[in-house]
Amino acid sequence: MTAVKHSTFTLERRYPVPPARVFAAWADPAAKAGWFGADEHSLDFRVGGRETNHGGDLTFAAEYHDIVEDERIVYGGTLSGPAGLATVSVTTVELVPDGAGTRLVLTEQGTFLDGHEEPEWRERGTGDWLDKLGSHLGG
């Protein structure tokens, strides 16, 4: 019997830099590779562009569906491992001016397949790399 779990989570972070700096850290391939932490990384940051991250035995592949400079990023992604497809998700990243800084709001809606990944693992891992982004931005 196969198992499917659906989950949505929202994470917020505040960074002490303007939205343009946070957006640039997502859009620039070298910058994103520096904070995202994958062993191998490729990024074509445009609507219709793709991103691939390989780390250990996992591969995350995404396609960008909506990009509003300095404001919003929407992408759909898959996570695969040795047992095959683990998750399919849609993620929205909103960058909201907050004084001299930025409030980042990330919402992910995921489908988790056959116990290969759990929603709690994804939420914790996503929070970890948002914290790495904060370190990259100096916050």
Domain boundaries, the chain: 4-137
pLDDT of residue 139: 59
Q: What is the mean pLDDT of residues 87-102?
A: 97
CA distances from 33 to 8, 73, 81 (A): 26, 17, 20
Please provide residue 69's backbone torsions phi and psi, each rounded to the nearest 5 degrees: -50, 130
Please provide residue 114's backbone torsions phi and psi, each rounded to the nearest 5 degrees: 55, 30
Higher pLDDT, 57 or 67: 67
pTM above 0.85, yes or no: yes
DSSP, res 5: E
43 pLDDT above the threshold of 90: yes
Given the candidates 3.40.190.10, 3.30.530.20, 3.30.420.40, 3.20.20.30, the CATH classification of the domain at 4-137 is: 3.30.530.20
Q: What is the spatial distance between Cα 11 and Cα 30, in angstroms, rounded to a whole number?
A: 24
CA distances from 28 to 21, 45, 108 (A): 10, 8, 22
End-to-end CA distance of the chain: 46
34 pLDDT above the threshold of 70: yes
Q: What is the spatial distance between Cα 73 and Cα 89, in angstroms, rounded to a whole number?
A: 14
Q: What is the spatial distance between Cα 32 and Cα 97, in angstroms, rounded to a whole number?
A: 21
1 pLDDT above the threshold of 60: no
